[in-house]
Chains A and B, each alone.
Chain A
Amino acid sequence: MKFFHFLLNSSVVVIVSTLGMALGMFYWGQNTPDLQGSAAVGRIHGAAHPMLTSPQALEIAYSAIKDSAEREKPGDIVVEFIQSKYRVRFFFVVSSERLLDHLLEVSVDPESRLAGKVEDKGCVAGLQQRSAEDGWETFLSGKRAFDLSVEALKGFDNYDKQGKLSIELRKSTYYVTFPLPHNEQPQPLAAAYAVQIWVDARSGKVLKVLVAS
């Protein structure tokens, strides 16, 4: 409700946000996509000014790896705002045991909205070291699971736009996690996320939409 009330107060942001909802669907294959029309009002270190969001950073980084042969392969994705830049890490599955994943890392400047050089970190220990089920080669990509999750949100945006975004593949399910909104008075007894969406890695079916308690 807060979100819609906010929109009513700013027609400019209405346009910005409306376009932003479709963000996950439209910025495929562009190295430096034009994000002027995306949901870009948010918080960095408490400063309320237009700023790139984590989903937007993911789009930019995803465009930056367009030449990678693994781009559409399954794996984990983590977007974090670290030291004034977004760090987007793509952990591609190379074996079902997932003791090691192939890591591509892209940094995204929140001001210029440009991706840095794609860094191939080679095979590294996976995030969770969760194994993937047999047939993982045919699973959806992490990015596709994210896009399906954004669709399932149906406009729900009560999460921290600049917070840590994670897409994790465990067995044959993707867990797409949107962080709790930033709270000036943190509550230590709280939920772990604003919303978490479970996506079947084979079919793309949304299995569960879990919201904070």
Chain B
Amino acid sequence: MPGAPNSPVGQPVAACKVLHWISVRIIKQPYFKPKPNWWISPPETPYPSEQFAGEITDGHKDAETDGKGSAVYLDIPSGKCSVKFKSFYLDIEKALHPHGFTNAQGLFDAPVPAAAGAPNFSVDLIVEKNLLTLKHDHKCKLEVKVTPPGLAVDEYRIEIKRASGGSWCTLSSTATLDPWFARIAGKLKLRGIAKIGGAEHQSGEKDVEVRFPDYNQIVADSAVQTEMSAAWCNTLNDCTANPNRRREYAFWILLNTLSDAYEFGPVVTGPWCAPADGAGANPGPRPPDKPATPAPCDQGATYSVGLFHTHTPTEFRAGGVPPGSTRPIGPSPPDESFHTANDVPGAIYDFVDSPAGSNSIPVGHPKNSPAKLYPTAGQTRRTTPK
């Protein structure tokens, strides 16, 4: 097709745009059986101002038909659309229920016993807790509640999706899910569905956040403690006077939510350091989650939730640094930056300061002196994905 008059030079012809559109209309269909005498006369005009809820490919619509009984959406992406004329059907139900209307029957079929009056019911999803933490506080009760109780419900479903988008998936096909173990981190939405009288009725959407564990929860875990202690022990053993060297240890802390157990990345050692050198380690970038982007209905995932490393003793450094030197304890500014950049809390095994309150240890400090864990200041826990 020709381009616009103001097309850039060299682009006189514009590529054809692939257009999609959809028209929503209520139209009269021929009667498939003779009309009874009492049947209301259809309006001459089409069905204007009919409210509908539509799932169009470019988003949800709450709208009504125009004066010609239609609504048109132009320039929409390809895909599936659906439209529900809820009030239209409610009007029909209201009009026909007294006469024993059921979906399965034609107008002239034998009548069935009269149903109860038009139900005035509601569907709700009760969520016990809307803030959960993987492994440590991930148990929650979900219940689809139909009010008034006693209504015949054909089918229940509890569905979940990410708040940021994506499709709904079914967590449960029962009215109650107790317990529901949250195993996928994220800002999520839940909804309950009850099928009543052949029609599905949804509850409002409920927000739930499933967080990663925080520093205190991670370092309190016995498996994590065992690994950290082993790394500290190796750090002390590697610090020797002859050869005069030392090195740091580091590893990523992972959480497998399927087994609800902490796991660990490979142990990384820093380069051997002489007394004059500063020690360090390069644990590499945060290991990707497995799967990389788990679906909310997945049974579990393995997440990187923290990073651990050690600092080294000063016992044998006196010959390599200025007399009277001390070294700071706890996370350094680069340590902080690295943890912040990787969006994880950090645990650092280092000595208790000596003298107390100095935030440092002297050079020559015995390597078997008291030590403890220090948290990084920035990230208490990894940020919840959207």
Q: Enumerate chain A interface residues (CB-CB to B < 8 A).
A: 1-3, 152-154, 156, 158, 180-181, 183, 185-192, 194-195, 208-213
Using known A-B contacts A1-B274, A1-B275, determine if residue A189 contacts B335 with beta carbons closer than 8 Å. yes
Residues of A within 8 A of B311 (CB): 213
Task: Say whether B326 contacts A185, CB under 8 Å.
Answer: no
Q: Enumerate chain B interface residues (CB-CB to A < 8 A).
A: 248, 250, 270-271, 274-283, 309, 311-312, 317, 319-329, 332-335, 337-338, 350, 360, 363
- Closest chain B CB from A179 CB (angstroms): 10
Task: Report the separation of the CA atoms of residues A85 and B322 in the bound assembly, to the nearest whole angstrom.
Answer: 30
Task: Say whether A154 contacts B322, CB under 8 Å.
Answer: yes
Residues of B within 8 A of A156 (CB): 276, 320-322
The residue among A1, A2, A3, A191 with the most chain B CB atoms within 10 A of its own CB is A191
Residues of A within 8 A of B283 (CB): 188-189
Residues of B within 8 A of A188 (CB): 280, 282-283, 334, 337-338
- Closest chain A CB from B340 CB (angstroms): 12
- Closest chain A CB from B277 CB (angstroms): 7
Using known A-B contacts A189-B250, A189-B334, A190-B279, determine if residue A152 contacts B274 with beta carbons closer than 8 Å. no
Contact residue among A1, A3, A180 (Cβ-Cβ distance under 8 Å from B278) = A180
Task: Report the separation of the CA atoms of residues A188 and B333 in the bound assembly, to the nearest whole angstrom.
Answer: 10
Residues of A within 8 A of B250 (CB): 189
Residues of A within 8 A of B333 (CB): 192
Contact residue among B278, B317, B324 (Cβ-Cβ distance under 8 Å from A209) = B324
Residues of A within 8 A of B271 (CB): 185, 187
Specify the main secondary structure of chain B where it touches its partner.
loop
Residues of A within 8 A of B282 (CB): 185-189
Task: Report the separation of the CA atoms of residues A57 and B350 in the bound assembly, to the nearest whole angstrom.
Answer: 37
Task: Report the separation of the CA atoms of residues A64 and B49 in the bound assembly, to the nearest whole angstrom.
Answer: 84
The residue among A181, A189, A209 with the most chain B CB atoms within 10 A of its own CB is A189
Task: Say whether B326 contacts A208, CB under 8 Å.
Answer: yes
The 7 closest A-B pairs by CB, nearest first: A212-B278, A187-B280, A190-B280, A158-B276, A191-B278, A192-B333, A209-B325
Residues of B within 8 A of A152 (CB): 322
Task: Say whether B332 contacts A191, CB under 8 Å.
Answer: yes
Provide a sorted-by-A list of 10 A–B residue pairs whose CB atoms are within 8 angstroms.
A154-B322, A180-B278, A183-B280, A187-B281, A188-B338, A189-B250, A189-B282, A189-B283, A190-B334, A212-B279
Task: Say whether A190 contacts B332, CB under 8 Å.
Answer: yes
- Closest chain B CB from A163 CB (angstroms): 13
Task: Report the separation of the CA atoms of residues A213 and B334 in the bound assembly, to the nearest whole angstrom.
Answer: 12
Task: Say whether A213 contacts B320, CB under 8 Å.
Answer: no
Using known A-B contacts A1-B320, A153-B322, determine if residue A191 contacts B276 with beta carbons closer than 8 Å. no
Task: Report the separation of the CA atoms of residues A122 and B106 in the bound assembly, to the nearest whole angstrom.
Answer: 92
Contact residue among A1, A180, A186, A211 (Cβ-Cβ distance under 8 Å from B327) = A211
Task: Say whether A211 contacts B279, CB under 8 Å.
Answer: no
Task: Say whether B334 contacts A210, CB under 8 Å.
Answer: no
- Closest chain A CB from B253 CB (angstroms): 14
Task: Report the separation of the CA atoms of residues A154 and B277 in the bound assembly, to the nearest whole angstrom.
Answer: 16
Task: Say whether A192 contacts B332, CB under 8 Å.
Answer: yes
Contact residue among B275, B280, B337, B338 (Cβ-Cβ distance under 8 Å from A191) = B280
- Closest chain A CB from B372 CB (angstroms): 15
Task: Say whether A191 contacts B334, CB under 8 Å.
Answer: yes
Using known A-B contacts A209-B326, A210-B328, determine if residue A189 contacts B248 with beta carbons closer than 8 Å. yes
Task: Say whether A158 contacts B277, CB under 8 Å.
Answer: yes
Task: Say whether B312 contacts A213, CB under 8 Å.
Answer: yes
Residues of A within 8 A of B270 (CB): 187, 189
Task: Add 20 more A-B contacts to A2-B274, A189-B283, A189-B334 (CB < 8 A).
Answer: A154-B323, A188-B283, A188-B337, A189-B280, A189-B335, A190-B281, A190-B335, A191-B279, A191-B327, A192-B332, A192-B334, A208-B326, A209-B323, A210-B328, A211-B321, A211-B326, A212-B277, A212-B327, A213-B311, A213-B328
